[in-house]
Structure 1
Amino acid sequence: MDHGISVEDIGERMKAFRLGAGLTPEQLANRSGISRAAIYRYEAGHPARIDTLVKIAELLGVSLPSLLGAGVEYIASAISFFERMRQLEEKVDQITVLFGPVSYLLTTDLYDEFLPEILKESIPSNIDHYEQALGDVDTLIEILFARKASYKKRMPNVISLVSAAELTQFLRLGLVGMHNPSGVDIDRRREVARIEIQNIVQLLRNQPIGVQLGIVLDSMPGSSLQIFKQANKKSVAVSPFRLGAFANIRLGVATISSAPDATELYQSVTNQLWSRALKGEHAADYLEEHVLK
């Protein structure tokens, strides 16, 4: 299994961290004294000198090992994190997802209609740089929509584990960005949540090729995680960031690692959950009887 540092991967991480820093290639070029053309080349996967990478890492507020992908990537920006998700998903053959309350890749078009509003709703109006935070949502939405478009085009295998308890809470509270948001039609938000759960039921009954769903009745890990597999590599992303119900796109530190010990430990966790999860018609019946009742 190849765990070496890839020049192409460095370029992808550079773009993700640049987006998370809210910088255009031109702005990064001006601040670093590196030409704009060079920034584009590096992000496209061309090699850069180590002193250049040190300078760029400092400007982007990340460590050089994180930029290189040496060990663990530490990511404090939701924009950077979901851009890295997009990049990784474009290459893999299989994705294992524990991302509550539902896996974004499997959500409906209606979910996408509400998502920008939900994410903006999750941002407290009294924070510093509130307007900038709202603008960051637009950047994040572009990345998320690109993720889903790439998934629909490539259709890698998806194994999604969903907590029955989270779905119950999702239905009760609705698709909301924060607790008890003012000026919001809660009944409509609950209906959107119901439609998403009904979509899960249909996926369980129809079992489309490449999609495997498991409904977990026992405890789930506190953090969301996603495991990416391709022929010669496996990576795991662990994240505090959350879309949809009680969204969190502001605070926390996500990690991405390709280290064998990390990927195997997290794979063991997902294997245990999968072995005990309800599947197929049994799972669909359970959701209709105990969640959608």
Structure 2
Amino acid sequence: MNTPALQPASSIDYADLGNRLKAYRIGASLQAEDVAEQLGVSRAVVYRMEKGEIVKIETLERLAQLLNTSLASLLGVEVEYYSNALGLFERMRQLEQTSDRILAHFEPISLLLTSDEYLTHLREMLLEASPKPQGKARHGEVEGMLTILAERRRFFEQRRMSIVSLIGMRELERFVLTGLVGRVDLPHDVRVQRVRAARNEVVRIADLMESEPLNVQIGLIDDAMPSSTFQLFSGNQRTVLAVSPFRLGELPNVRNGIATVTASPEAVRLYEDMIGRLWKSAYKGRTGAQRLRRLLERVDALTELS
């Protein structure tokens, strides 16, 4: 009796491949039916691919061309590149779903640690920051981003995964002085309201540092921070690094830049080493909270003088 030869296990993680397909599709502002039409398949087939069904290499090549990326990026064998914030935020949402610990520096503060009011202000900021001729056209993209960001915040609050957040003092000072604005030529009363909203976010961070929740560690860095923000997603099997030019603080940028996502051991190690070095010299706990409150007092004094 002949026994069938065992097929070698595939080195491709099709579930993760499906996640990348979805992130690139969302980043390209395409619906599943748009992709299905271009491929000549049903929408159900697209959904199955995004859930991890095995995909033929010919189909992947067509998908890469359609989604304006490379086959290597889809396969995750090198570096994933995201040319807009929408696709990156979806990919970050996916990675957070399987992470137990996050190491982050997002300017000025990690979205996961912001208040419930932050996303409301962010909607206005992103619309204000859009070039005026494209304002209405960008509204749908902004809403798509906010939906993903809100889901990320909800998941973090429900699961209470561990987060280590590095925050630059210089970035925070600029954040409080400028306020939650998308551009500076706003009416005076709006600017006053947005400066107050930014101040409230810093107070929230100070409160978190004082109360020291078990899953939240915050370090204040009184030194120049990297120009690109980053996040390390650590799970049971691997650690993935996302480096981003996009920012959600004052005068946000979600339009211009190229973000990268990689599980390269060298890249992960270098960022872990940098984080460890910064964390060692950071102000933490009550000491950090006191420095934040002194920062607010200094900014308040400057505001009164002006």
**Structure 1 residue corresponding to 2:117, chosen from 106, 110, 115:** 110
**The residue matched to 1:214 in structure 2 has which SS?**
strand
* Conserved? CA contact 1:13–1:84, under 8 Å: yes
**The residue matched to 2:138 in structure 1 has which SS?**
helix
Normalising to structure 1: TM-score of the pair? 0.95
Tell which deviates more after alignment, 180-189 or 222-231.
Answer: 180-189
Unaligned runs of 5+ residues in structure 2 are 1-10, 299-306
Aligned to 2:129: 122
**Structure 1 residue corresponding to 2:138, chosen from 130, 133, 144:** 133
Q: How far 1:183 sits from its partner (Å)? A: 7.4
Taking the aligned partners of 1:178 and 1:5, their CA distance within structure 2 comes to: 45
* Conserved? CA contact 1:121–1:181, under 8 Å: no
Aligned to 2:196: 191
Aligned to 2:5: none
Q: How far 1:266 sits from its partner (Å)? A: 0.9
Taking the aligned partners of 2:150 and 2:123, their CA distance within structure 1 comes to: 11
Taking the aligned partners of 2:247 and 2:163, their CA distance within structure 1 comes to: 19
* Conserved? CA contact 1:226–1:238, under 8 Å: yes
Could you tell me the percent identity over the aligned residues?
40
Aligned to 2:232: 227
Aligned to 1:70: 77
Taking the aligned partners of 2:171 and 2:264, their CA distance within structure 1 comes to: 30
Taking the aligned partners of 2:85 and 2:184, their CA distance within structure 1 comes to: 20
Aligned to 2:158: 153
Q: How far 1:97 sits from its partner (Å)? A: 0.7
Taking the aligned partners of 1:279 and 1:266, their CA distance within structure 2 comes to: 20
Taking the aligned partners of 2:180 and 2:33, their CA distance within structure 1 comes to: 38
**The residue matched to 1:244 in structure 2 has which SS?**
coil
* Conserved? CA contact 1:170–1:193, under 8 Å: yes
In structure 2, the CA distance between the partners of 1:183 and 1:191, relative to structure 1 (3 Å rule), is: closer
In structure 2, the CA distance between the partners of 1:123 and 1:200, relative to structure 1 (3 Å rule), is: same
Higher Rg of the two aligned structures: 2
* Conserved? CA contact 1:121–1:177, under 8 Å: yes
What amino acid does structure 2 have at the position aligned with 1:201?
A
Normalising to structure 2: TM-score of the pair? 0.91
Aligned to 1:265: 270
* Conserved? CA contact 2:164–2:217, under 8 Å: yes
* Conserved? CA contact 2:175–2:249, under 8 Å: no
What amino acid does structure 2 have at the position aligned with 1:28?
V
Taking the aligned partners of 2:291 and 2:44, their CA distance within structure 1 comes to: 56
Q: How far 1:182 sits from its partner (Å)? A: 5.3
Taking the aligned partners of 1:145 and 1:263, their CA distance within structure 2 comes to: 27
Deviations 1:202-224 (A, max 9, x none): 00000011100000001100100
What amino acid does structure 1 have at the position aligned with 2:244?
S
Deviation beyond 3 Å, 4+ runs, structure 1: 179-184
Aligned to 1:290: 295
**Structure 1 residue corresponding to 2:283, chosen from 272, 278, 282:** 278
Q: How far 1:53 sits from its partner (Å)? A: 0.9
| Matched residue count | 288
Aligned to 1:170: 175
C-alpha root-mean-square deviation of aligned residues, in Å? 1.3
Q: How far 1:290 sits from its partner (Å)? A: 2.6
In the alignment, does 2:63 pair up with 1:50? Answer: no
